[in-house]
């Protein structure tokens, strides 16, 4: 059943899978109007139908966060009733490859930096002025435990998420005078499409990552974001690291195999 959040609007990037999809579903069920964005239009339309069939108001924006012109065009095309974005979730991101720095694929590096860092900046730069004009809003940046620590062969991915961590702190300061909240979410091991993308479709390698661990789910992260977004207006969670109980750091796992 829809509740008092009905008139609020959330925009979620990378909503076609994983965290983004779960976040969109959680907030739609809570009564938010939901703007879902992503590169895979077929998946966006599938999610739109699923959420709309449940009574939610959903709008799709099909664009790649790496393309500044497309980001600007998409956000500027929002109908007037959808431009009052209360929450922005910068979720679009990925890891590609797992190689030592001297063996890395520079195309993979570009893809991670362009998506995880520049894409986040492009979307924020376009949406934040709408929040500033209204004097309210909440930005969630999906970072990673890899933004707090580094691990072997994680070099560029870790660097990109460290950048998200730093940008979240900077955004919080920059937005302070406008009454806008900024929350950095740093998940640990979560079983989504993450490793399948990292290993470029190699499901055997992807499955091995999670073996013996009851990992976080996309729904777990959606619940955490819902909690942060539901706190009183004077309360802001600035930074939150979440791991499975079996994980105490990027290199500390208690596998049950």
Return the active site residues.
Answer: 157
Q: Where are the beta strands (DSSP E) in the chain?
A: 9-12, 33-38, 58-62, 87-90, 137-142, 180-187, 239-242, 247-249, 252-253
CA–CA separation, 44 and 34 (whole Å): 12
Going by C-beta distance under 8 Å and a sequence separation of 6 or more, which residues neighbour residue 194?
18, 94, 95
Tokens 């970072």 label which residue? Answer: 143
Ramachandran area for residue 185 (φ above 0: left; ψ -120 to 50: alpha; else beta): beta
Is 95 within 8 Å of 197 (Cβ atoms)?
yes
Q: Is 164 helix (H, G, I), strand (E, B) or coil?
A: helix
Going by C-beta distance under 8 Å and a sequence separation of 6 or more, which residues neighbour residue 60?
35, 36, 37, 41, 44, 45, 48
The β-bridge relationship of strands 252-253 and 247-249 is antiparallel
CA–CA separation, 109 and 195 (whole Å): 16
Q: For 62, list phi and psi in degrees, rounded to 5.
A: -95, 105
Ramachandran area for residue 18 (φ above 0: left; ψ -120 to 50: alpha; else beta): left
The tokens of 113 are what?
């930096």
């Amino acid at each position: 059943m829809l509740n008092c959040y009905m008139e609020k609007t959330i925009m979620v990037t990378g909503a076609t899978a994983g965290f983004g999809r779960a976040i969109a579903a959680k907030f739609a069920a809570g009564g938010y109007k939901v703007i879902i964005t992503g590169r895979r239009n077929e998946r966006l339309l599938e999610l739109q139908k699923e959420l709309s069939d449940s009574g939610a108001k959903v709008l799709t924006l099909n664009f790649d966060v790496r393309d500044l012109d497309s980001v600007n065009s998409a956000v500027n095309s929002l109908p007037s009733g959808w431009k009052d974005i209360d929450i922005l979730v910068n979720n679009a991101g990925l890891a590609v490859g797992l190689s030592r720095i001297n063996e890395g694929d520079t195309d993979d590096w570009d893809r991670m930096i362009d998506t995880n860092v520049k894409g986040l900046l492009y979307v924020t730069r376009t949406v934040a002025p709408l929040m500033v004009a209204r004097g309210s809003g909440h930005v969630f940046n999906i970072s990673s435990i890899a933004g707090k620590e580094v691990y072997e062969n994680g070099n560029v991915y870790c660097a990109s998420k460290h950048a998200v961590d730093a940008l979240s702190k900077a955004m919080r300061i920059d937005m302070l005078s406008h009454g806008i909240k900024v929350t950095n979410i740093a998940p640990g091991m979560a079983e989504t499409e993450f490793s399948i993308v990292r290993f470029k479709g190699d499901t055997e390698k992807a499955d091995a990552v999670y073996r013996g661990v009851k990992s976080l789910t996309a729904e777990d992260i959606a619940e955490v974001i819902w909690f942060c977004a539901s706190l009183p207006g004077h309360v802001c969670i600035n930074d939150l690291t979440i791991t499975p109980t079996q994980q105490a750091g990027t290199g500390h796992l208690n596998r049950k195999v």
